[in-house]
A and B are shown apart, each in its own frame.
Chain A
Amino acid sequence: MLHTFVALVEDKPGVLTRVASLFRRLNINIVSLTVGESERPDTSRMTIVCDAHEHAAHRIRASLYKLETTVHVDEVDRSAAVVRELCLMKIAVGPDSPNGSHSRSQIFELANVFRARVVDLAPESIMLEMTGSSSKIEGLVQVITESGYTILEVSRTGRMAMRRGHHTSRVLSALGSRPKADGNGDNHGSKLDFHDNLGDEILPNEFENVHEEEI
């Protein structure tokens, strides 16, 4: 089954390799992986979708957190989350297209139905931009193909995920504004003495779902 993880990682060279290498070592195929900036400075946010055994989630999450460059890992499979993908698609629309000179207007109509936008118009092609769930993107691809058009190029970002609601991960609030590991000697770090957090509802990465997993 597909698992979706959101990992906050340090924005440093080699971090992507560490994450990717972990999946390679576990012999798990990554379906999609997106990396970009997060709300925190010097911290990247990755959404990793992988195809693994139903009960592998705990181990993957724990292994991701074991990487020294990982700040936080969340698994969004079981929770309500918004999952989106961005897709760019180039369609051949010229005089030879199925509907001849009406081809462009038909593509515009289809794009409207799927809430895609036209972002480039050339004599021989149209480029569409669309965000949505994977199935919505696949739906547009299917409709265009079935209408007899040739899709020249498709570029998809892969899935990005964010939990719904006020969650914003209890871990982050427990962490507060964690200082960067820049070794400049300011001792914000001492405030993060782990045992100070004992009163919190949940400790960072106490894997409370351990017992739901089966081998």
Chain B
Amino acid sequence: MSRPESGAGTTVLTGAEIVWATLEGEGVREVFGYPGGAILPIYDALRKFPIRHVLVRHEQGAAHMADGYARASGRVGVCMATSGPGATNLVTGIATAMLDSVPIVCITGQVSSKVLGSDAFQEVDITGITLPITKHNFLVTRAEDIAPAIRQAFQIATCGRPGPVLIDITKDAQQSTASFEFAAAAPCAARPHPMLRADSSSIREAIALIHSAERPIVLAGHGITQSGAEAQVIAFAESQQIPVASTLLGLGSFPAAHPLNLGMMGMHGESWVNHAIQEADLLLAFGMRFDDRVTGNLAHYAQNAKKIHVEIDPSEINKNVRVDVALIGDLRGVLDTLLPLLPKRTDTGWLRKINASKGTAAVRDIINLPDNGHLYAAHVIHDIWREAQAAGREQDTIIVTDVGQHQMWEAQYFKHETPRSLVTSGGLGTMGFALPAAIGAKTACPHKDVWVIAGDGGFQMTAAELSTVVQEKLAINIAIINNGYLGMVRQWQETFYEKNYSASPILSPDFVKLAEAHGIAGAHIAKRKDVTLAVTKARTSGQPFLFNFQVEKEDGVYPMIAPGAALHEMVHRPERDPLLETAEDE
């Protein structure tokens, strides 16, 4: 049987072939998945199509890979699993993509339609299970419905606020035949989406607020990159001389070295940024959703500030923070409308005031401490950044983090200049995300340097994917920040639970030996002077590399805001660092 060209004429294909033909038509070149009984017809048809399949070691990895693929490239990530346990294993990955609005399409096999609902072997109601964690999902029981469902899934995943879509296809639908024509399966136009009108009174109100603001701040979120509005945000900030603070997922959307960049806000944000937000008289929220990690106690959040919320999802308006003006629509379009209507401003007094207020907050930083022979996680991350910068690879480096202390240190000590250079699970905070997401990122961007930065705890959650790295010959570099604890849990226990380190010390295998068992080169590193050399070696090797960075055990992420505290009530790194004292004792 010959494969039909996309869009050309009608051909009769099996449902399984239609799956691949439709994916091919949608421009899919890579799929992450794991075969099993109810999806075998689809896997049987794979060989006829020019799509690369990456075999994962656990379906959670497949969903994270699709997620990392989408975040790194901006294209839709696709993953596949069989029915039952295969499908349920995807759940954590789907929820991760949902919370961070990442466009992925998940295809699951399902038992035959005639036994649906009968508790057949490996049957699970995955459309029911994933209903609240997908943007939409489909149960397809007929071959002729497959192509329209997949095409509509791609449209839903990418339009408006992106998100995951799941398609559950029964085995009999995969096996039966239907006529296929790619173009004929096109979804009708996306539903009318709430959008701003150019002559809307909201625009006039926004302009008046911007015009009269003396202490405005832009809050830069994930939506900037989702919308492709990086250039517009830079133009806006420069034209109005408005400083820019970022959320965790907003990092990289505004260049870190830009004079107007303040840095990250929120729970582990920079203190001057949080103080500036509390002092501001106007907040311009660009594609961010006032998550509790960036607002602190809502009752005390930015009380002096008027708020303008530019957001594509109307249900986010006034959800957490009451705003004065809502501009509902695609950020790029909104800024294109706004900018020509605003006269340029040149007053830099507000920015100077914020910069002057940095004071010792920046100086007391851990990277500025004298080398005491001990290795801190901040050193490792900072040196990875410095090394990439020195090699001119800064624009071509993607850091994929796991979740916890190292994630916050990454956000603080790696300066992101380019969009999509940081891949991290912000909303769901999924430990185990880093390694599989990095596999997805490297698959999407093979010419970029992809670093996994993971803690010793999170890395062990999905370490099985090391095998996938080797099988797919992916030159991913892995930096394990090993402190022998579930670090963020330990820090909270230290701060809020009287140092009762309940279940937070964690034993790890010898990660270097583990890597070697997979055929991956590795090294233990415990001294700062060894970091840069090792990083260079790994980056230039063209092979996967794993480092076990043995770092200070009881280091903490500072500044931090205690839960329930206001944004300006930050806890700073203790002046006399007990860790340093311990170090000198030895």
Contact = CB atoms under 8 A, between A and B. Distances in A.
A194 B330 CA distance: 13
Contacts of A14: 127, 139
Interface string A171-196: 00011000111111101111011100
Nearest to B333: A195
A183 B314 contact: no
A174 B198 contact: no
A21 interface: yes
Contacts of B298: 215
Nearest to A198: B197
A51 interface: no
A59 B128 CA distance: 23
A39 B319 CA distance: 34
A204 to B, nearest CB: 4
Chain B, interface size: which category? 35 or more
A192 B198 CA distance: 19
B314 A65 contact: yes
Contacts of B320: 215
Interface stretch (A86-94, A132-140, A145-153, A206-214): A206-214
Interface string B304-319: 0000000001110111
B189 A204 contact: no
A109 B156 CA distance: 58
Nearest to B161: A66
B572 interface: no
B13 to A, nearest CB: 16
A191 B399 CA distance: 43
B109 to A, nearest CB: 19
B512 interface: no
Contact of B192 (A180, A192, A213): A192
A62 interface: yes
A157 interface: no
A63 B188 contact: no
B189 A193 contact: yes
A68 B135 contact: yes
Nearest to A63: B315
B447 interface: no
Nearest to A64: B315
Given A17-B131, A183-B148, A190-B189, A203 B318 contact: no
A140 B152 CA distance: 50
A146 B172 CA distance: 61
Interface stretch (B33-41, B179-187, B222-230): B179-187
A68 B136 contact: yes
A18 interface: yes
Interface stretch (B267-275, B321-329, B343-351, B499-507): B321-329
B562 interface: no
A84 interface: no
B318 A205 contact: no
B314 A205 contact: yes
A101 interface: no
A25 interface: yes
Contacts of A18: 131
A189 B152 CA distance: 13
Contacts of B181: 185
Contacts of A198: 197-198
Contacts of B474: none
A182 B132 CA distance: 24
A206 B318 contact: no
A71 B315 contact: no
A206 B195 contact: yes
B188 A62 contact: no
B194 A203 contact: yes
Contacts of A106: none
Interface in B130-183: 131-132, 135-136, 139, 145, 147-148, 151-152, 156, 181, 183
A194 B196 CA distance: 11
A192 B192 CA distance: 8
B114 interface: no
A215 B290 CA distance: 13
A194 B329 CA distance: 12
Given A181-B152, A207-B317, A213-B318, A68 B131 contact: no
A183 B186 CA distance: 6
Contacts of A194: 189, 192-193, 195
B427 to A, nearest CB: 15
A163 interface: no
A197 interface: yes
Contact of A66 (B145, B147, B315): B315
A3 to B, nearest CB: 15
Most B CB contacts (10 A, CB to CB) among A181, A197, A205, A206 go to: A206
A210 B197 contact: no
Given A18-B131, A68-B136, A215-B322, A189 B192 contact: no
A189 B189 contact: yes
Contacts of B3: none
A182 B152 CA distance: 10
Most B CB contacts (10 A, CB to CB) among A55, A58, A175 go to: A58
Nearest to A207: B314
Contacts of B576: none
A207 B328 contact: yes
A20 to B, nearest CB: 10
B132 A21 contact: yes
B188 A204 contact: no
A207 B127 CA distance: 30
Contacts of A59: 315, 318-319
Contacts of B191: 68, 71
A159 B139 CA distance: 31
Given A181-B152, A183-B185, A192-B189, A203 B195 contact: yes
A55 B191 CA distance: 26
A58 B317 contact: yes
A183 B181 CA distance: 11
Contacts of B328: 206-207, 210
B156 A210 contact: no
Contacts of A180: 188
Given A68-B136, A194-B192, A206-B195, A185 B185 contact: yes
Contacts of A206: 194-197, 200, 328
18 contacts: A18-B131, A65-B314, A66-B313, A175-B192, A181-B188, A183-B187, A185-B183, A187-B186, A192-B189, A203-B197, A205-B314, A206-B194, A206-B197, A207-B194, A207-B314, A213-B318, A213-B322, A215-B322
Given A14-B127, A192-B189, A215-B322, 5 more contacts: A180-B188, A183-B188, A197-B192, A203-B194, A210-B318
Ranked 3 nearest A-B pairs via Cβ: A183-B148, A189-B188, A189-B189
